[in-house]
Chains A and B, each alone.
Chain A
Amino acid sequence: MHELSIASAVVESVLEFVSVRPVRKVLAVRLAIGELSHIEADQLRFCYMAITEQTPIQDSALEIDRVEAVVRCEKCLYRGRPKYWEEALLVGAIPTLQCPDCGATVEVIEGNDCAIKSIRFAIEDDGLTVPAA
């Protein structure tokens, strides 16, 4: 939930970023969304497009990479994907905090966050002149 406030935060960060660089046009913003964060990529993209409309970054694309969950078990030292709860009534598998090997509670190492990974932009045209060798 709250994809709109996340989209807002993305836009704010991007605008801050371009304010101190010779940016002609922002082409794309790449995000990494963790499997265990509560953020829905489609909704986020929709919000981003809606709020960048009529702004200098309105044509920028939002690229979203999904970061898989990685957990660690203190008891048996398992490290890897979490155990998933799959059942008839569930639409899709739910990640759990149960160790796939020993059944103890695991801690999350990766997959909790939502972060901006990169910003792709075209620089201002300033026509450099370089002498030939």
Chain B
Amino acid sequence: MIQTIEASPDEIYDIELEHSLLEANAELAKENRALLDRHGVTAIDVMGAIGSGKTTLITRLVERLKDRLGIAVFNGDATTSTDADLIANQSVPVVQIATVNGCHLDANLVGKALRKVNLEKLRLIFIENIGNLICPAEFPLGSKARAVVVSVTEGPYMVRKHPHMFLGAQLVVVNKIDLAEAMGVSVAELAQDVHKLKPDITVIPTSCKTGDGLDDVTAALLAV
């Protein structure tokens, strides 16, 4: 007699995978970096809160370096071209990346911008990220280094409030030090907070207004 065995309609399978969800952007970032490396171009991802001084810092650095090196600037902004226009006055190639509703730049957008400049003629690209200390940390762009600009006017707790941002940085610029006394903010304590997170980050106090620290920032960038 034949017995019929039926597979249970609830035969359950558990299939193992190893599928990273963060891969897509990371792969594009690696492609950007490979393209930049092939042309000997260093890209710096400049991050920081709104009003920290990213655009002014980039403008000052471009002023100092443009006669020595081929420089381009990518400016990420949701809706305006005000920052890009400021930098365009310096007569270097500027690409405006309008994110519209996006709160961070990503490797895909930067990849598109890279196709709009002549990499053969460049040595340095400043990528000014969206003014935001949370989201950009999660999205590598393919830059060689990340520089976070934090200003004393944001108060004394910015580092501990945004650890992910600082953990991913190689350079921290503490800006507007000419206002530190008025703000009652200690530049030394901010630097200490940064080093508690990551001991070997270079921290440079600056004032884009007076020019203090800009030589050091320039040297640090050229050494990246």
**B9: CB under 8 A from chain A?**
yes
Contact indicator A122/B196 (Cβ below 8 Å): no
CB contacts under 8 Å to A, within B1-46, are 1-7, 9-22, 24
Contact indicator B198/A98 (Cβ below 8 Å): yes
Q: A96-B167, A115-B20, A128-B5 are in contact. Are A122 and B15 (CB under 8 A)?
A: no
Residue with the highest number of chain B CB atoms closer than 10 Å, among A36, A87, A90, A115: A115
Contact indicator B10/A122 (Cβ below 8 Å): yes
Contact indicator B14/A94 (Cβ below 8 Å): no
0/1 per residue, B162-204, Cβ < 8 Å to A? Answer: 0110010000000000000000000000000000111110000
**A70: CB under 8 A from chain B?**
no
**Once bound together, how far apart are the Cα atoms of A116 and B24, in whole Å?**
14
Contact indicator B17/A24 (Cβ below 8 Å): no
CB contacts under 8 Å to B, within A61-89, are 85, 87, 89
**A97: CB under 8 A from chain B?**
yes
Contact indicator A127/B21 (Cβ below 8 Å): no
Total count of chain B residues near the partner, CB < 8 A: 36
Q: A38-B137, A119-B15 are in contact. Are A85 and B197 (CB under 8 A)?
A: yes
Say how far A130's CB is from chain B's closest CB, in angstroms.
5
Contacts of A89 in B (CB 8 A): 157, 160
Contacts of B7 in A (CB 8 A): 123, 125-128
**B92: CB under 8 A from chain A?**
no
Contact indicator A116/B19 (Cβ below 8 Å): yes
Q: A105-B200, A114-B22 are in contact. Are A123 and B13 (CB under 8 A)?
A: yes
**Once bound together, how far apart are the Cα atoms of A5 and B6, in whole Å?**
41
**Once bound together, how far apart are the Cα atoms of A127 and B21, in whole Å?**
36
Contact indicator A132/B6 (Cβ below 8 Å): no
**Once bound together, how far apart are the Cα atoms of A128 and B22, in whole Å?**
41
**B11 nearest CB neighbor, chain A only:** A123
Contact indicator B12/A96 (Cβ below 8 Å): no
Q: A37-B22, A128-B6, A131-B2 are in contact. Are A120 and B197 (CB under 8 A)?
A: no
Q: A89-B157, A89-B160, A129-B4 are in contact. Are A122 and B197 (CB under 8 A)?
A: no
Q: A2-B138, A85-B197 are in contact. Are A127 and B15 (CB under 8 A)?
A: no
**Once bound together, how far apart are the Cα atoms of A24 and B3, in whole Å?**
26
Contact indicator B17/A119 (Cβ below 8 Å): yes
Contact indicator A96/B197 (Cβ below 8 Å): yes
**Once bound together, how far apart are the Cα atoms of A27 and B14, in whole Å?**
9
Contact indicator A127/B6 (Cβ below 8 Å): yes
CB contacts under 8 Å to A, within B30-80, are none
Contact indicator A97/B18 (Cβ below 8 Å): no
Say how far B90's CB is from chain A's closest CB, in angstroms.
33
* A residues lining the B interface (CB < 8 Å): 1-2, 6, 9-10, 13, 17, 24, 27, 31, 36-38, 85, 87, 89-90, 94-98, 103-105, 112-123, 125-132
7 tightest CB-CB pairs across the interface, nearest first? A125-B9, A132-B3, A105-B200, A116-B19, A97-B198, A115-B20, A130-B5
Q: List 21 A-B contacts (CB under 8 A).
A: A13-B19, A24-B9, A31-B21, A36-B167, A38-B164, A85-B160, A94-B160, A96-B198, A97-B197, A97-B199, A104-B199, A105-B199, A118-B14, A118-B17, A120-B15, A122-B11, A127-B6, A128-B5, A128-B7, A130-B3, A131-B2
